[in-house]
Structure 1
């Protein structure tokens, strides 16, 4: 494999199911050696923010519902599975699961993409509280919030790949 292919294989999933971010960053010469979480994140965020509204919306839509159908079926990406499990979303009570399902459906219907939050360091009560608050945002506010959360998730994923001191 080429250096580009190796890079895409390793980092193409940092932005959920959106390898075009890694491809464009690499092709634009934004990836600097030595590779660091911050350096890659800066390059990826630059590309993400320059992407069209439709492309950014596609990145948002690539994220799974929290505690949703993909989680139940075991079809999450490994990163998403670990992130959701770390927040306890794989251990919801029936009532909590019903509330997440209700909120997921209402949120997606209102905004056209799933609720996205960087769950690291949060528990299910924190996530539900954020869900309950953010569902009342305007479409513009929530698009901005969700894209910021996607960038945070990417940083956390990169930091786990590069345990920098």
Structure 2
């Protein structure tokens, strides 16, 4: 079989690495400015650890927000841990990077989505990555027509 470059897997690793780098920076320095994150993850993924009541409430997928109140954010090569507040009830959780389905920072209109698809040729899962970045918006300039009128 001929050797090929697996661009899909390389992109997958790079985008997970981006999330890891961003979270590691926040763990060390805190959230800058208006940045905050919506992170959706697969609660059934091996290595995900959360309270039983959260797993019961979110049996397949959960979205967490890292913004105003979070503690104990730690990041390593395989996963991150964070304690989040659910109705004045702090809950620690462990989320492997491979469990992450979406990572969005709405303050700068940046998002990543990892879509899991099964192939017809084999039962292995492949992740397709979609980068969602909105173009920079600029305010319109209002021009008075008076300057063009002949008086």
TM-score class normalised by the smaller sequence: 0.3 to 0.5
Which structure has more relative contact order (CA 8 Å, sep 6+)? It is 1
Question: What TM-score do you get using the length of structure 2 for normalisation?
Answer: 0.34
Name the structure where helix makes up a greater proportion of residues. 1
Question: What TM-score do you get using the length of structure 1 for normalisation?
Answer: 0.32
Name the structure where strand makes up a greater proportion of residues. 2
Name the larger-Rg structure: 2
